[in-house]
Amino acid sequence: MEATAAAREEIVRAACPHDCPDTCAMLVTVREEGGRKVAVKVAGDPEHPTTRGVLCTKVSRYLERTYHPERLLQPLKRVGRKGEGRFERVSWDSALDDIAARLQRIAAVDPQRIVPYSYAGTMGLVQGEAMASRFFHRLGASLLDRTICATAGGEALAHTLGIRSGPAMESFAEAKLIVLWGTNAIASNLHLWSFVQQAKRNGAKLIAVDPYRSDTAEKCHRHIALLPGTDGALALGLAHVLIREGWLDHDYIDRYTLGFEALAQRAAEFPPARVARLCGIGVEDVEQLAHEYWHIRPAAIRLNYGMQRCAGGGNAVRAVACLPALAGHWRDAAGGVLLSSSGVAEVDGARLYRPDLLGGRTPRTINMSTIGADLAAASPPIEALIVYDSNPVAVAPDSRAVAAGFAREDLFTVVLEHFRTDTADYADYVLPATTQLEHFDVHKSYGHLYVLANNPAIEPLGEALPNSEIFRRLAARMGFAEPCFAETDEQLAAQAFMRDGATASIDWQTLKRTGWQRLDVPQPYAPFADGGFPTPSGRCEFHSQALADLGLDPVPGYVPPHEAGDGPLAARYPLAMISPPARNFLNSTFVNVKSLRDAEGEPTLQIHPADAAARGIHDGERVRVFNDRGRFELAARVTDRARPGVVVALSIWWKKLAADGRNANEVTSARLTDMGRAPTFYDCRVEVARA
Ligand SMILES: Nc1nc2c(c(=O)[nH]1)N[C@H]1C(S)=C(S)[C@@H](COP(=O)(O)OP(=O)(O)OC[C@H]3O[C@@H](n4cnc5c(=O)[nH]c(N)nc54)[C@H](O)[C@@H]3O)O[C@H]1N2
Ligand SMILES: Nc1nc2c(c(=O)[nH]1)N[C@H]1C(S)=C(S)[C@@H](COP(=O)(O)OP(=O)(O)OC[C@H]3O[C@@H](n4cnc5c(=O)[nH]c(N)nc54)[C@H](O)[C@@H]3O)O[C@H]1N2
Ligand code: SF4
Ligand SMILES: [Mo]
């Protein structure tokens, strides 16, 4: 903390906790008012190399969210029916005593009947899983497979590059060709976008690959509007042309890759004419992009998770991730492909999460993406669900099944939250959690190469407690006496990272003073300039024996969408719906912040003029979107930003803040991806009609 010139004001070094690749360094201005500390301003740290003084619109409103009149400030106990959202105030002691007693009764039969449900409401390592996973490991609860976002692409990278890594965010400023592939960076990766803008001013060419003309695609030089879920075909088509033309870095391929012949054989099946047909684009789109990809250097691809939410998401990421090795782009720090940088900073999971507390037990694993089906039919049944850092009733696919599961009267549900979300309405107990301004944390990033500290700026509001403290108190009541349950948040933060490699020099005491620190990796960062892929073979694996051993295709292939492509479903449900992030929300976070909700307006469905005309739909009219899984209503926006055959419902709205009490996940599917057991949110056929 540093005193500023103004009397009794101080600046606290913090970190944005949200599920966003930018992980911004924040400066919080705090003032003493009536003997209490009040946060009066949040700003981006001007000295942090990727934040560069800027917070996005959402987090600029962090004070409005923190001091929101509807913040949960006391523990609540359900008095109404499940989902009704009627609660009474109770004390922490009575809530925790009752929760511990209920969990003990269930655990006496089988602790696996208790299931944690969490994701990335906070990306902080302390308030995320540190104390929580110790608690659940000690209890012997079911394990949770955290697949809802990134595992298809993450496993694809692991089987290709060996690590989630790629060019540094700052290096994009130096690229001359930037392919924004399945990413609306202006909404979801604003700070990368500012480096892309810098590159553009220096003459770089920008190309978007996205079914939707997003804000980002609109500002690119070219936009390839392919059909959802066909990215694997496009990438193999590019490989086809590179190989056909001999646009190959033979030296790089010989020294640093494995399985070129197998990849060439696969790519031979994807001539541009076939690719154009599969992707619903022009032959010249494929030819021209391949030409540019060889001739313009450095060439950087920014992939985002949007393109792996279809049946073939894993193979598609693998196919794209092979391209830089073919063309030798990894040689340059501003070349290669960036999906995630999260593998560079390694968390010391053994110390932080303490899987040893399982003591040899091997509980079953529940996939968070199929929670609806599992609440209905898992065996042994799920009898208790502890939800934190997530809002599954709004965000999980096949929402009708999810809500039905949460509505089970025999399910005991505890939700740790800031607000009465759609999920909290189903809880038996809602426990008030602190926000980032009120607790310690430590962060790594999946978009840049820095770690950050978060210092508390203010005291917890009301009776709110940090997640860590809630699990600490529950552990004490359950009689868990291991010393690790007494560790403070700062002790947890201090043991978060491995003491070797890129995080060897991180010291918590220093970090919390300076706010952030670059990982110990070379600058400029060109991770695979000389090979060095941490795969089993040490090479970029076009052919992966590990995948073959899993019974999967060892060579990247094109796995067609479950639904979005031409199949039997196409006749009944002719439109493919995607529901990518809205700019003013972060998943379902911020939807209840009025200024941001006002900026977003109302839930809308963007539909191409031809598709609208065929259904007699006019701009602004209310429409119903439906399929066999469910239906929801919203306002039509007739626009050619949606390509023909594809409708776009920017997400994720709170159901209860939508006029019909529903959102896009009523129709999304819980079928899983080819790798990573992840959901296929953007692989979803629907029909649309006037409401
Ligand atoms: N403002 C904002 N920022 C966010 C989020 C948010 O909700 N709002 N969410 C955060 C989270 S959790 C994540 S995981 C990240 C990244 O989240 P992503 O889901 O990658 O989101 P976007 O970067 O917006 O990019 C998605 C883009 O992919 C496009 N797309 C959809 N289907 C396909 C397809 O099959 N192929 C291709 N090529 N493109 C497709 C969509 O039209 C959209 O423009 O963003 C994070 N940042
Ligand atoms: N249709 C559709 N569905 C999607 C997506 C999509 O693009 N389209 N995107 C998917 C993706 S990529 C993701 S990552 C998931 C995201 O799903 P979630 O991880 O569930 O994300 P949020 O909806 O933002 O919910 C996070 C919740 O955590 C709470 N929270 C934040 N900080 C804390 C804390 O410190 N303590 C506690 N106890 N709670 C806290 C917030 O108040 C918020 O309600 O949604 C997925 N669902
Ligand atoms: S949500 Fe992303 S861009 Fe916005 S402040 Fe947080 S880290 Fe930065
Ligand atoms: Mo995500």
- Indicate the residue type of 475: A
Q: Is 187 in the pocket of ligand 1 (CB under 6 A)?
A: yes
Q: What average pLDDT score do residues 253-261 get?
A: 98
What local confidence, expressed as pLDDT, does residue 386 receive? 99
pLDDT category of residue 105 using cuts at 50, 70 and 90: very high
- The structure tokens listed for 169 are 């965010």
What phi, psi does 500 have (nearest 5°)?
-135, 180
- The structure tokens listed for 326 are 């073919």
**The dihedral of CA 638, 642, 643, 649: what is its sign?**
negative
Cβ(444)–Cβ(23) under 8 Å? yes
- The structure tokens listed for 571 are 């006749």
Residue 269 has pLDDT above 80, yes or no: yes
Q: What average pLDDT score do residues 53-59 get?
A: 98
Q: Is 563 in the pocket of ligand 1 (CB under 6 A)?
A: no
Q: How far away, in angstroms, is 372 Cα from ligand 4 center?
A: 19
Probe residue for ligand 2, chosen from 184, 395, 474, 663 as the CB with the greatest number of ligand atoms within 8 Å: 395
Residue 176 to residue 164: CA distance in whole angstroms: 23
**The dihedral of CA 119, 494, 353, 133: what is its sign?**
negative
What local confidence, expressed as pLDDT, does residue 58 receive? 98
Name, in order, each residue with C-beta under 8 angstroms of 487's C-beta and a sequence gap of 6 or more: none
Please confirm whether the linkage preceding 554 is cis (ω < 30° from 0).
no
405-423 pLDDT, tens digit per residue, is: 999 999 999 999 999 999 9
Residue 660 to residue 647: CA distance in whole angstroms: 19
Q: How long is the chain?
A: 691
pTM above 0.85, yes or no: yes
List 300's β-bridge partners, or say none. 178, 336
What local confidence, expressed as pLDDT, does residue 155 receive? 98
DSSP, res 18: S
Q: Is 679 in the pocket of ligand 2 (CB under 6 A)?
A: no
367-394 as b/e: b if 16+ CB within 10 A = bbbbbbebbeebeeebbbbbbbbbbbbb
Tokens 């917070």 identify what position? 55
Listed in sequence order, the DSSP H helices in 247-377 are 250-256, 260-268, 272-279, 283-295, 313-327, 349-353, 371-377
Q: What average pLDDT score do residues 98-109 get?
A: 98
SS3 29: strand
Q: What average pLDDT score do residues 620-643 get?
A: 98
Q: Is 368 in the pocket of ligand 2 (CB under 6 A)?
A: no
Closest CA to 125 of 430, 348, 417, 339: 348
Q: How far away, in angstroms, is 545 Cα from ligand 2 center?
A: 35
What phi, psi does 624 have (nearest 5°)?
-110, 130
Q: Is 148 in the pocket of ligand 2 (CB under 6 A)?
A: yes
For residue 414, the ligand closest to its alpha carbon is 2
154-213 pLDDT, tens digit per residue, is: 999 999 999 999 999 999 999 999 999 999 999 999 999 999 999 999 999 999 999 999
What local confidence, expressed as pLDDT, does residue 482 receive? 98
Q: Is 151 in the pocket of ligand 2 (CB under 6 A)?
A: no
Element (H, E) at 414: strand 412-417
Q: What average pLDDT score do residues 358-372 get?
A: 98
- 5 or 239: whose pLDDT is higher? 239
What local confidence, expressed as pLDDT, does residue 564 receive? 79
pLDDT category of residue 491 using cuts at 50, 70 and 90: very high
Cβ(189)–Cβ(161) under 8 Å? no
Residue 506 to residue 487: CA distance in whole angstroms: 19
Probe residue for ligand 3, chosen from 54, 55, 62 as the CB with the greatest number of ligand atoms within 8 Å: 55
Closest CA to 636 of 662, 614, 607: 607
Give, as residue ranges, everything with CB less than 5 Å from ion ligand 4. Answer: 149
Q: Is 305 in the pocket of ligand 1 (CB under 6 A)?
A: yes
Listed in sequence order, the DSSP H helices in 382-507 are 392-395, 399-406, 467-477, 489-494
- Indicate the residue type of 406: F
Strand intervals (E) in 425-574: 429-432, 441-443, 450-454, 516-518, 540-541
What local confidence, expressed as pLDDT, does residue 644 receive? 97
Q: Is 256 in the pocket of ligand 1 (CB under 6 A)?
A: no
What local confidence, expressed as pLDDT, does residue 573 receive? 97
What local confidence, expressed as pLDDT, does residue 78 receive? 98
DSSP, res 566: S
104-137 as b/e: b if 16+ CB within 10 A = eebbeebbbbbbbbbbbbbbbbbbbbbbbbbbbb
33-55 pLDDT, tens digit per residue, is: 989 999 999 999 999 999 999 99
201-231 as b/e: b if 16+ CB within 10 A = eeebbbbbbbbbbbebbebbeebbbbbbbbb
Q: Please provide the average confidence, as pLDDT, over all residues in the chain.
A: 97
Residue 28 to residue 55: CA distance in whole angstroms: 12
DSSP, res 465: B
pLDDT category of residue 7 using cuts at 50, 70 and 90: low
SS3 462: coil
What phi, psi does 671 have (nearest 5°)?
-70, 150
What local confidence, expressed as pLDDT, does residue 180 receive? 98
What local confidence, expressed as pLDDT, does residue 2 receive? 52
List 575's β-bridge partners, or say none. 686
427-469 pLDDT, tens digit per residue, is: 999 999 999 999 999 999 999 999 999 999 999 999 999 999 9
Name, in order, each residue with C-beta under 8 angstroms of 670's C-beta and a sequence gap of 6 or more: 369, 370, 372, 373, 396, 397, 398, 401, 679
568-615 pLDDT, tens digit per residue, is: 899 999 999 999 999 999 999 999 999 999 999 999 999 999 999 999
**The dihedral of CA 588, 385, 443, 309: what is its sign?**
negative
Cβ(411)–Cβ(447) under 8 Å? no
Ligand 2 atom at shortest distance from the alpha carbon of 651:
8
**The dihedral of CA 502, 504, 507, 508: what is its sign?**
positive
Rg (CA), the chain: 25
- From residue 147, alpha-carbon distances to 224, 308, 534, 676 in Å are 28, 12, 23, 7
656-683 pLDDT, tens digit per residue, is: 999 999 999 999 999 999 999 999 999 9
Q: What average pLDDT score do residues 233-243 get?
A: 99
Residue 663 to residue 654: CA distance in whole angstroms: 7
Q: How many CB atoms are located within 10 Å of the residue 462 CB?
A: 11
- From residue 600, alpha-carbon distances to 17, 391, 593, 623, 653 in Å are 22, 20, 11, 18, 10
SS3 437: helix
Tokens 């690229």 identify what position? 175
Secondary structure of 191-204 in HEC code, one letter for each residue:
HHHHHHHHHHHCCC
Cβ(229)–Cβ(312) under 8 Å? yes
Residue 529 to residue 336: CA distance in whole angstroms: 9
